[in-house]
Homo-oligomer: A and B are copies of this chain.
Amino acid sequence: MKIATTVLETRNTVKNWRKEGYTVGLVPTMGFLHEGHASLIKKCREQNDKVVVSVFVNPTQFGPNEDLEAYPRDLEKDKALCESLGADLIFHPEPSEMYKNPKTYMNIEGLSDNLCGKSRPIHFKGVCTVVSKLFNIVSPDRAYFGQKDAQQLAIIKKMVQDMNFDVEVVGCPIVREEDGLAKSSRNTYLSDEERKAALCLSKSVKKGMEIIKEGISAKEVLDEMKKVINQEPLAKIDYVSMVDSLTMEDVETVDRDVLVAMAVYIGKTRLIDNFSFEVK
């Protein structure tokens, strides 16, 4: 497995693979890899001749009061995991390699206004920009994203369509701890007490999945879900919402495919979880 820190080295490596006729998959990550990432890398390994994992804590997707500095990093552990899963290349650039007095950005209207975009106004602009850059650097056949970041996945699918990227976007299911908590690099912020409290997210998701059905009102589902979270004293809801799976706009009734998503503060740590429901 190779580690590249420059755009040029990454590009040249991929170009040489292309000459040999290999297909290339990309797993974009911010590192501190957990089993959620591992599931993406495994899927990528199955579907492509060559596997690229990018490890880059992207500064442009963090707001001024967010956790850019605190975001956990452990490159040695990430390397070992990628190696064990059969990755061929880690792209691990410094911020200065990725951003040189940047003026250009990719952004998306509508899909980024609701849910996480509401509390993190510049987040998806940063995500769209860095993912576009990674696509241009690696030019992968396929790219892998977790369903845990459901709004991100919907936005990237739309971006790929709108901008004619020649990349297949593959979404992969949420990976959970045994007790239900969705795997996240940010779980490392939680104290023991908070770790227990954080279970209210997955419990709320479970409750929502039990009661959702075609024709039911969003309010009925969301009220039950919020009740579960509000029983937990350490939890503070950022949002619990039901949106159209494609447009990310609020829906009032389950009459189409929907995403039911939440962001909840456990102490100072903001966690997300979600589930999708398809109308037959």
- A residues near B (Cβ < 8 Å) are 7, 11, 100, 102-111, 128-129, 132-133, 136-137, 139, 158-159, 161-166
Contacts and interface: CB of A to CB of B under 8 A. Distances in A.
B103 A133 contact: no
A228 B102 CA distance: 38
Contacts of A129: 163
B108 A128 contact: no
A165 B159 CA distance: 16
B107 A128 contact: no
4 pairs of A and B residues whose beta carbons are closest in the complex: A104-B162, A136-B164, A104-B159, A104-B108
B110 A139 contact: no
Given A11-B166, A166-B11, A103 B158 contact: yes
A52 to B, nearest CB: 14
A166 B136 CA distance: 7
Nearest to A125: B107
Q: Which of A128, A137, A163 has the most CB of B within 10 A?
A: A163
Contacts of A100: 161-162
A104 B128 contact: yes
B103 A163 contact: no
Nearest to A128: B104
Contacts of A133: 163-164
Contacts of A105: 106-109
Contacts of A102: 162
Contacts of A165: 136
A137 B163 CA distance: 9
12 contacts: A102-B162, A103-B110, A103-B158, A104-B109, A104-B128, A104-B158, A105-B107, A105-B109, A106-B163, A129-B163, A132-B163, A136-B165
A96 to B, nearest CB: 14
Contacts of A159: 104
Contacts of A158: 103-104
Contacts of A107: 104-105, 107
Contacts of A162: 100, 102-104
A129 B106 CA distance: 9
Contacts of A104: 106-109, 128, 158-159, 162-163
A72 to B, nearest CB: 27
